[in-house]
Chain A
Amino acid sequence: MKDSGMIENARSVDRAATIVLVAGMSFILIPLAIAAVTATQPYETFIEAGGLSFALGGHFLDNMEKILSETKLLRQLGNSLAVATIVAVMKVGFCFLAAYALVFFEGKFRRALFAVMIATVMLPLDLRVITTYQIVANVAMPLNWILDATGANWAIEKVAGFRPYFRLSLLDTYFGTAAPIAANCTAVFIFRQFFLTLPKDLPRAAIMDGAGPIRFMIDIVLPLSKTPIVATLLFFFVGAWTNYLWPLVAASTPDQQTAVVGLARIADSDIDEIPQVPLLMAGALFVSFIPVALIAVMQRQIVRGLNLSSR
């Protein structure tokens, strides 16, 4: 009696879980399905239907062809690839090093540094877009500011008769687009947690074997961190790929814009005209193909890597 009751119970829990899952999946998948269906429609069908509809059209390849010929999405895809790769590599590289320093070295300012890092996570890029733009538009700005503030400029003006002003703009470059997104230390937490699960005698054993800090990092910690590194690389790659606001600001010419920014431009037609929604949807599928494929192939690694343990 009791047993069958428990099984009954487990079944009803199962059923409830299934319902919740189906509801959640529909919530996420139905818009995607609409996007996919719309991408196959010709513009005319869309106009006639007076909006989104579930009618499959046979124009997917036509729409794709148009994406390739009439928009710069292919080139912009290349831009996205470059920017997202730079972002992922920089973020993971810096965070790995920072976490390594935080965990394996003793220092008076360790706690303070960690606190500062936590604080920077609270200040997302979207919030400081204007300042960031000013700096990227002229990365020598801090130098100019220091020269002004210390009176060095004044002295130079007295002696040489001109006032130096340095200028170097990184707008419209891959690095200029990528660096501000990469300046973020979320992964420090992930790597720190991971390093803390390593046996505490491991660095001691390496020291006894004659390894210095660099050797220990390269020979021992790096190979052991393969899973979290792969996971965070993917994670940040996808994150950078879908980033919108900053890439929009940082690159002004269509040739330098990322694919997501370019995609939004397709919708920016005349006010009087109905936007080319089927084309836009085809473009969306085109742009999201790479990150979706990456996640599909690597999902195991992502889950394992975010599990945060050395086993």
Chain B
Amino acid sequence: MDILANLALGFSVALSPYTLMLAISGCFLGTIIGALPGLGPSNGVAILIPITFTLGLDATSALVLMTSVYYGAMYGGRISSILLNIPGDEPALMTTLDGYPMAKQGRAGDALVLSGVASFVGALLATFGLMLLAPTLARVAFLFGPAEYFALYLLAFCTLGGMASNNQAKSAIAACIGLGIAMIGVDSSSGLPRLTGGNLHLYDGIDFLVAIVGLFAIAEVFFFIESHGKGSSIGVKLDKVRIPWADIWSTKWTMLRSSGVGFIAGILPGAGASLGSFLAYMTEKSVAGKDGGFGTGVPKGIAAPEAGNNAAAGGALVPMLTLGVPGSGTTAVLLALLMTLNITPGPTLFTDRPEVVWGLIASLLIANVVLLLMNVPMVKIFVKVLMVPAWILLPGVTMISFVGIFSLSGSYFDLLLMIGFGVMGYILRKLDIPTVPVILGILLGGNMEDALRRAMTLSDGDPTYLFSSPIAIGLWVAAIAGFVAPMFLRNILRKPQAITD
């Protein structure tokens, strides 16, 4: 009964009035961030990291706050998906497929409550899965040497690339951009600067927070300038909100199946929440058959992607906490948070800092319950948030990003760099080059190179050492399959396109 004892430890950390307060305000803030069009879990969490850092919260409190914001944003994302047909981020796209048609039929309230319950089920089951699976995987992770870690990082980039883009070369370029940026700075083993071009500002390397905020938040401003903030007004009326018991009961199996599918997709390093909601939706669509009416606003079409999406968000925490390899864009941002707080994720985290891990898990459970309670009766308040016009919202987000990044180092250089990343993010997204691999590259580049170097030092420069253990070979095979398979499956597993009016 290790789990119960650990969970008791976790709740003793997470149930103090102060942390509970943080969890509740995090949930509230997160839901608002998720609901705002143009802000999703990734950029919302990214903007808040520097500010949390400056607030001087200790590691556990900061982690509780940010994970509740993370979960809150996942909940909030569905509001703009359903009411505006604008997904806050990639995984929320699947929710628009049935959510928006249902809202147009005058059942917006039902759709919101149903998706809230589905989110709750998915996230709750995934948190239980995390509790059961993570400690076991942490023990397996002790078997990982440098060769295995190198292959694992490669697997993350390959599966992410396979899923995130329609063009493998483009996602590989994105990963290379990130990895290449990570190499800049003083080399840890020789103490000599690398690839800085003699610029003193670059000797410290490029802070990943600067890149994240630039690529996610500043790039968004350019998109809004291009579109003049069109398409961000509510086209659907929200009447009385009741609880659609019949719909919830009729989708119970859908929710359970989708949670399972989503959780497994989330565990795959690099695949993450997009794959989770996509697979959950497609599975349910094929289970329901042609008469299921998917795409016309059926309850199952809302419950499946929401449960899958939130379960994948929980599942993505498994590789992030045990191996230090995030499974999605947002978990990459959470990994950035952990690194900022000087917590190194990995197998040792579970033995060295159990209060951090189990406090986190306990606060996830608390956040879930708080979010369900908050989202069903108070959904109307969050809908009001959607009324904030883009011409106030986007300048505000920009200014908060500037202050946050400025508070990190107090240097104009980081701010200029952030603007540069914003421009880059705009161009990359225009060219359909995914930006998440860039972030992942900057975050993991140092570790990946470290693993390669240690492997080369151990084997005295023999490259075959990288394929010397069964685990490493398995990871290499999975990586290559994950990179190549989507090329052939693309015609079969075509993503449903968003509905346009």
A binds B: no
Interface, chain A (partner B; CB < 8 A): none
